[in-house]
Chain A
Amino acid sequence: MSSVALSKAEPVAGTDPGTGRGPARPRRVALVPTLTLLLGALYCLLPVAWVVIASTKSGNELFSTFTFWPGTGLTENLADLNAYRDGVYWKWMGNSALYAGVGALLSTCVSAVSGYALAVYRFRGRETLFNVLLAGVLMPPVILAVPQYLLLARADLTDSYLSVLLPQILSPYGVYLARIYAAASVPPDVVEAGRMDGAGEWRIFTRVALPMMLPGLVTVFLFQFVAIWNNFLLPYIMLSDDEKFPITLGLHTLLEQGANTPALYTLVITGAFLAVFPLVALFLVIQRFWNLDLLSGAVKS
């Protein structure tokens, strides 16, 4: 699998798509694919719409009025959420931002370095290492949470910010993506040219390869950010102090308050609604990096 991906990723400069295809045919709307896509979009967006609308409903309206009819309680819900245990929600939001932001950044750095090394250097055991990594991709992180807890407990690190950050820094999937991307976007000739000019390996990596890999690394960052933001089990096992909880855990405690206390649905829904914004903002801000094509012009054949 890996060799296919790599061989396909050999130099691609010079192939320019879109020419010599004959006269353009009149455009037809492909009905079936369009409909399928629309259905898919609807399927993805309906729950979001539900959260948006439900967050405007007061407790009384939530289950009694028509599902997709906005209610009148948004400001009240926001005020309640803000007031809940002296604004602990914002603390959770900050924690989530910290875990996801710092974690994704560190994870991207590690992935970039490891992926680059795996793609560019040839050394004994490289393929074995890579295959082990692939096995790591297939291993769901859920399975690892408990062993990681026991490991960190030995180091006396549980119930700390580090306990959630550390296990998420090494992401097999991130390393895998970075390797594929480095192989595709950093031509060996460029590395060789750098060496001829007398640059050290570290300098070649940071000054030459890294900018070329940037769009791929942005993808790694985003993947990892979303994964950490949505992660539940790892922080659930690691943390016991609710001041350190991320949003996922915090909202869970609002739902599971024991049998004799009703779940705080309106707060949870409003909280989930607000928690979507940072992700949307992140995607909008970072999106433009995907369009950068730093590869063009690096190698002339």
Chain B
Amino acid sequence: MRYTKHRRLVSSAMAVTLGATTLAACGSSDDGGARSGPVSLTYWTWAPGMDKVVDLWNEGPGKKEQIKVTVKKQASGDTLVTKILTAHKAGKAPDLVQAEYQALPTLVSNDALADISQDVGDAQDEFADGVWQQTTLGTDAVYAVPQDIGPMMFYYREDLFKKYGLTVPTTWDEFADTARELKKKSPETDLTTFSANDSGLFAGLAQQAGARWWSTSGDRWKVGISDGATRKVAEFWGGLVEEGAIDNQPMYTPAWNKALNTGRQIAWVSAVWAPGTLSTAAPDTEGKWAMAPLPQWSEGENRTGSWGGSSTGVTTDSGHKEAAAKFAVWLNTDGDALNALAKESGIYPASTSAQLSGAFTTPPEYFSNQPDFYEKAAEIAQTTAPSAWGPNVNVAYTAFKDAFGAAAKKKSGFVAAVEAVQRDTVADLEKQGFEVAP
């Protein structure tokens, strides 16, 4: 077969370019930095109903200030941090992002979050010190405004505790005894489970015990995951799993839901947002649960950890940081805004004055049997131990799931698992180019 030169050219061009032309870039346009006049901001958030809360701003204070905010609803989780960082790499991160506290160091070390300390005024007064400290990362800068918090608490089936003759444990030793006692009285019932999937829970428990997983000394990061406090927590739970006093199945599975719903598991170490989870996991047991402070490591102590919670940050890509910070402060300190957030998104506010007003004057529906639910919650929130997050929490959490998952299956070696997490975390920090103190 013979082809003319012309034909050959055409055909090869056909194969190559037809696919490629469609990808041709058409030049980028400038954002244009109009300082005065109306401002339009985008906001990535996962809180359900946030669009309705933002409507309050757009029709009220935002209208006066000519700052319009548009919500772009996202899925929560570590993947969102990756998405924000990817967008930031292209200079296209939204003006405002919702970020969990443990994600803040990651975002800051990638230069994705702006320092808004000049624009937040005296917002600091609205928050407990331990909460505010998480958004400053211990510096003079402010990288976000706290939105919601997740102080940890102990939830238990009031009716079944009575039935089995158990008392609510106030220390972890009592907690262990309670678990053993229950096993004796009803071998097929477990007090609770230790889930190797939920790094956030373990981090909160370690925080209560006084662990500081990340800290800085000079220009160096120090990783303290394998320190004494964390080991103590790991040994405690590992021991309970090993002797069979509690279950070792993961949480948030259909099997776990069933166990809660049918009374095969009668307690849950969780946080202030538990009522929402319980209402879907164990719908048949509404009104049968009660909440108490977390058991303590030594008698007379009064501390809790936190599990969950998030903040509102302004990105370095935003062309209107001052306006964005203004909105972030309004959203997380204004009474009406927080009320709407509680109603639409079901959050537990970080702002101390909001914790006892508006939506939080009556208990959650699921806990209608405990009228002082939120008063107690606010008291417990005050006792939150300081937290210490670092720039690679996601890596530590992944390492946790791997190491603890394997250990839970074998029912042994939780301390070795803690050491594995420490090793992986340090190795990753070094790989990222951080200086790590020994």
Contact = CB atoms under 8 A, between A and B. Distances in A.
B19 A259 contact: no
Given A117-B11, A129-B16, A260-B308, A156 B29 contact: yes
B92 interface: yes
A21 B258 CA distance: 60
Given A169-B22, A259-B273, A59 B283 contact: yes
Contacts of B279: 262
Q: Interface on chain B toward A: helix, strand, loop, or mixed SS?
A: mixed
A260 B18 contact: no
Interface string B126-139: 00000000000000
B11 A121 contact: yes
Interface string A207-219: 0000000000000
Contacts of B18: 110, 113-114
A155 B77 contact: no
A276 interface: no
A272 to B, nearest CB: 15
B387 to A, nearest CB: 15
Contact of A257 (B76, B200, B257, B283): B76
A192 B1 CA distance: 8
Contact of A261 (B8, B25, B48): B48
A150 B89 contact: yes
Nearest to A145: B86
Interface range on chain A: under 10, 10 to 19, 20 to 34, or 35 or more?
Answer: 35 or more
B40 to A, nearest CB: 14
B7 A201 contact: yes
Interface residues of B, number: 65
Interface string B14-32: 1110111011011111000
A240 interface: yes
Interface stretch (A30-38, A40-48, A248-256, A281-289): A248-256
B150 A170 contact: no
A201 B283 CA distance: 69
A256 B75 contact: yes
A262 B257 CA distance: 12
Contacts of A259: 76, 150, 200, 271, 273, 307-308
Interface in A228-270: 236-237, 240-242, 249, 252-253, 255-263, 265
A158 B284 contact: no
A146 B23 contact: no
Contact of A256 (B11, B46, B347): B46
A192 B148 CA distance: 73
Contact of A63 (B8, B83, B258): B258
A126 interface: yes
B27 A155 contact: yes
Interface string A96-124: 00000000001000100110011011111
A129 B87 CA distance: 32
Given A59-B283, A60-B283, A170-B20, A158 B90 contact: yes
Task: With a 10 A CB-CB cut-off, give which of B42, B83, B261, B284 has the most chain A CB atoms.
Answer: B83
A252 B23 contact: no
B15 A170 contact: no
Task: With a 10 A CB-CB cut-off, give which of B46, B75, B261, B272 has the most chain A CB atoms.
Answer: B75
B277 interface: yes
A261 B19 contact: no
B345 interface: yes
Interface in B52-105: 72-77, 79, 83, 86-87, 89-92, 94
Contacts of A106: 22
Contacts of B14: 113-114, 117
A118 B26 CA distance: 29
A214 B26 CA distance: 34
A261 B12 contact: no
Contact of B347 (A146, A154, A175, A260): A260
Interface string B280-319: 1101100000000000000000000001101000000000
A15 interface: no
B391 to A, nearest CB: 20
A14 B7 CA distance: 32
Contacts of B15: 113-114, 117-118, 129
A231 to B, nearest CB: 15
Nearest to B11: A121
Given A259-B200, A261-B273, 16 more contacts: A59-B283, A64-B262, A64-B284, A129-B12, A153-B87, A155-B27, A157-B26, A169-B22, A201-B11, A242-B73, A253-B46, A256-B76, A257-B48, A257-B76, A258-B76, A263-B280
Interface of B: 1, 3, 7-8, 10-12, 14-16, 18-20, 22-23, 25-29, 42, 44, 46-48, 72-77, 79, 83, 86-87, 89-92, 94, 148, 150, 200, 254, 257-258, 261-262, 271-273, 276-277, 279-281, 283-284, 307-308, 310, 345-348
16 contacts: A63-B257, A114-B18, A114-B19, A118-B15, A122-B8, A146-B86, A156-B29, A157-B26, A166-B23, A169-B22, A170-B20, A257-B47, A259-B200, A260-B272, A261-B48, A262-B281
